[in-house]
Amino acid sequence: MTDSIAPSVAAASSAAPTPPAWAGCLREPARGFDLTPLRLLAGSLPAGLQGTLYRNGPARLGRGGRPVGHWFDGDGAVLAVQFDQGRAMATYRFVETAGYRAETAAGRLLFGNYGMTAPGPIWNHWRRPLKNSANTSVLALPDRLLALWEGGQPHALDLATLATFGSDDLDGTLPAQAPYSAHPKRDPEGGDIYNFGIAIGGPDATLRLYRGDPSGRVQARSELRLTGVPLVHDFVLAGPYLLFLIPPVRIDVLSVFLGLKSYRAAMRWRPELGTQILVFARDSLQLVARGEAPPWYQWHFGNGALVAADELVLDLARYEDFATNAHLAEVANGCTYTPAEARLWRLRLAPASARLLVAEPVSDRSFEFPMVAPAAVGRPWTRTYGVLHRVGTDTTSERYDSLGCHDYASGRLYEADLGPARYPSEPILTGPVADAPDGWLLSVVYNGVDHRSEVWVLDAADLAAGPRAVLALPAVIPLGFHGCWRPAPGT
């Protein structure tokens, strides 16, 4: 099997500025590949690294000469890197959703999505559902891998081959077409899986909460009607609570339903609404308290925990406004012009009243894709990992080009210097293993100097030491979003 991924960014005209190095992984036609041994470029693979790294992201950003409207619109493709006794092999395949198959057969774009309306006359748009791109994240279950997207059901893949089984209703426990978010949280002790979805059926959205068992089957559900239709991408598991911070973005859904605007074009930044705080009891999925905070926007949280009888702490990558949406749309074109910089913030609040107690930045560095060790999810933690911009990097025109860790115990930011024009993906942590008590940090890095995608393995406790191993992937992997680690059975 060999997939072909079409060029996603048109070549720059002679009048355009020189594209940044990161654009090479979007502009270049990429291809899927079957299970292939990976060549070691530097270092050696630790013998204790046993399991599979999965990553998902948009891999096709246009068809038939027409580009998609936003980076979020690209067809998802999943990379699996298998580590076994000092060796590594990888495979890469598109998620073959119904929309992907239809557009492949037609050779052109057929559906609307986050950043685009469906091609053709406006009066016919309502007849065409949005395409489930299955391009945002992954969730490894005991018998299958789920490719996740914001607005619909997950798609099930084979854990080893990444072959697509089809849309997945979690063994009949997820209602038809029910949204299942790309940011599930797994309880490290019992393995229960918490998630949510935003259902849109009119001028007000419904927040749906799910609690599933380790196999993914939904065991409990609840709903809460929201005011208006907000954009909610992530949430926090914090001890006995689930926490949602609803940013002041509202969607004019009527214009979307009439085919006049895409979701992106119908979104409005409404700072006068502030940030809404919703606290739920995780055992019952029932609302405990509502609160308010000043306006900001966040895509991603790092973690949360109950640190006192009535005090929650959490961290997030905070933006001052919603300019990030325009910035991420520009990524698909290979050049970004809109400033949109996130910083790591720490918040403290009272769960019984949802009252914000403290909100403060913990670093002045650009920071995104915050991540903690799997065993720390929902519990007190010390280190939050993420991607950074190197000191001196233009944060508007460049993608993230460094990996870092904020250590709350020391108050210091530790950083791995990847070198110039190296662009890491979200860091994934393995958890403790025999030869690394703090676990290994894994990242798929686009090497813009050599036009090559690589897998970097670093000691999570010592990023400054550089990579323990660097592996060459057999094809360039476009910049993506989220991933997960699945330990080998028995490790």
- Among the listed residues 16, 6, 43, 28, the one whose alpha carbon sits nearest the alpha carbon of residue 470: 43
- Return the half-sphere exposure (C-beta side, CA atoms, 13 A cut-off) of residue 99: 23
- Return the half-sphere exposure (C-beta side, CA atoms, 13 A cut-off) of residue 432: 4
The token pair that represents 23 in the structure block:
């654009």
Q: Distance between CA 60 and CA 75 in Å, rounded?
A: 5
Q: Distance between CA 53 and CA 455 in Å, rounded?
A: 10
Sign of CA dihedral 102, 103, 106, 107: negative
Report whether 322 contacts 271 (CB < 8 A): no
- Among the listed residues 88, 99, 38, the one whose alpha carbon sits nearest the alpha carbon of residue 63: 99
Q: In b/e form, how buried is each residue of 264-291, taking b as 16+ CB within 10 angstroms?
A: bbbbebebebbbbbbbbebeebebbbeb
- Among the listed residues 88, 94, 83, 81, the one whose alpha carbon sits nearest the alpha carbon of residue 30: 94
Class of domain 4-487: mainly beta
The phi and psi torsions of 86 (rounded to 5 degrees) equal: 80, 10
pLDDT value at residue 10: 42
Alpha helices by DSSP H, 204-257:
253-257
pLDDT value at residue 435: 77
Q: Distance between CA 398 and CA 23 in Å, rounded?
A: 9
Sign of CA dihedral 301, 371, 114, 181: negative
pLDDT value at residue 282: 97
Report whether 200 contacts 229 (CB < 8 A): yes
The amino acid present at 236, given as its one-letter code, is V
Give per-10-residue mean pLDDT for the chain (491 aa). 40 62 85 96 95 97 93 97 96 97 95 90 66 97 97 96 97 93 96 97 94 98 97 98 98 90 96 98 98 98 96 98 98 96 98 98 96 97 97 97 97 96 97 84 98 97 96 97 94 74
Domain boundaries, given as residue ranges, for the chain: 4-487
